[in-house]
């Protein structure tokens, strides 16, 4: 079977070397070699069996890229500003940095350049939001093959008489369909009488609110408390800190 040619930037992303955007920047700078030969033309195609190496400067530049954790308050959007709402990135300024941030990283406005949210959190949801300059982190958290789980605490009201039947709690764990597809298995359990813990491995738009509606629950409040191994912890609302080098999602 003959090999299929792939765009070099796509292949670099598949290999986890960089994001596609980073790959294009590095190719343009002459930092990428294919089988030992520098390739500096964007759009170049390669075979999967070809060896791709990256110059040291690229790794150095990548290690300077920051990842920031923020405890997003209500009323902020995760990504681009929309309909007069402020994006969460506006909170990243020296005065909002958590006093207990243990990172030696110094804040500099250039860190706000190309800082993108790795996953969204609705305007009326609060809690852990990750913003990163590192394409590898973004791909790891929101790439198509990600298996990073995310945990939410969800305050609910049951809109029918009595309490939520066990059969419906089981449905929240597995068995519901959304947008014409079955949802992946989730872990949903009661924390106390009006709060559920949801652990999901996918993130469809307004997924938890829609899941709750399907079984007669109304979401009163929603807070993301963990992404993979990284927890929101004591980080105060509206404040941010750097991801530490030893922390991995």
Region for 202 from its dihedrals, namely left if φ exceeds 0, alpha if ψ lies in -120 to 50, beta otherwise: beta
Find the catalytic residue in 24, 83, 101, 122. Answer: 122
Sign of CA dihedral 62, 65, 71, 76: negative
List CB contacts of 125: < 8 A, sequence separation 6 or more: 72, 74, 222, 223, 224
Nearest-angstrom CA–CA distance, 132 and 127? 16
What end-to-end distance do the CA atoms of the chain give, in Å? Answer: 38
How does strand 230-231 pair with strand 217-227?
A: antiparallel
Neighbours of 66 (CB within 10 A): 20
Concerning whether 179 is annotated as a catalytic residue, the answer is no
Distances (CA, A) of 3 to 7, 51, 188: 13, 14, 44
**Residues 31 and 60 sit within 8 Å (Cβ to Cβ):** no
CA dist 182 and 198 (Å) reads: 17
Q: Which two tokens stand for residue 181?
A: 């597809």
Catalytic residues: 122
């Amino acid at each position: 079977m003959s090999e299929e040619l792939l765009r070099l930037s796509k292949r670099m992303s598949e290999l986890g070397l960089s994001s596609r955007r980073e790959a294009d920047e590095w190719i343009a700078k002459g930092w990428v070699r294919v089988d030992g030969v520098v390739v500096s033309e964007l759009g170049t195609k390669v075979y999967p069996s070809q060896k791709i190496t990256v110059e040291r400067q690229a790794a150095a530049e990548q290690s300077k890229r920051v990842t920031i954790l923020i405890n997003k308050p209500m009323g902020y959007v995760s990504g681009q500003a929309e309909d007069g709402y402020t994006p969460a990135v506006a909170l990243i300024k020296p005065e909002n940095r958590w006093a207990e941030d243990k990172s030696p990283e110094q804040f500099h406005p250039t860190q706000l350049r190309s800082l993108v949210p790795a996953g969204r959190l609705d305007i009326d949801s609060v809690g852990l939001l990750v913003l990163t300059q590192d394409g590898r982190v973004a791909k790891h958290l929101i790439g198509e093959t990600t298996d990073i789980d995310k945990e939410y605490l969800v305050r609910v009201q049951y809109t029918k008489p009595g309490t939520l039947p066990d059969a419906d709690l089981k449905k929240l764990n597995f068995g519901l369909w959304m947008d014409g597809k079955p949802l992946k298995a989730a872990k949903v359990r009661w924390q106390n009488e009006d709060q559920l813990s949801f652990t999901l491995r996918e993130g469809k738009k307004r997924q938890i609110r829609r899941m709750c509606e399907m079984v007669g629950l109304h979401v009163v409040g929603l807070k993301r408390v963990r992404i993979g191994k990284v927890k929101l912890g004591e980080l105060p609302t509206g404040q941010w800190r750097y991801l530490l080098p030893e922390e991995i999602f």
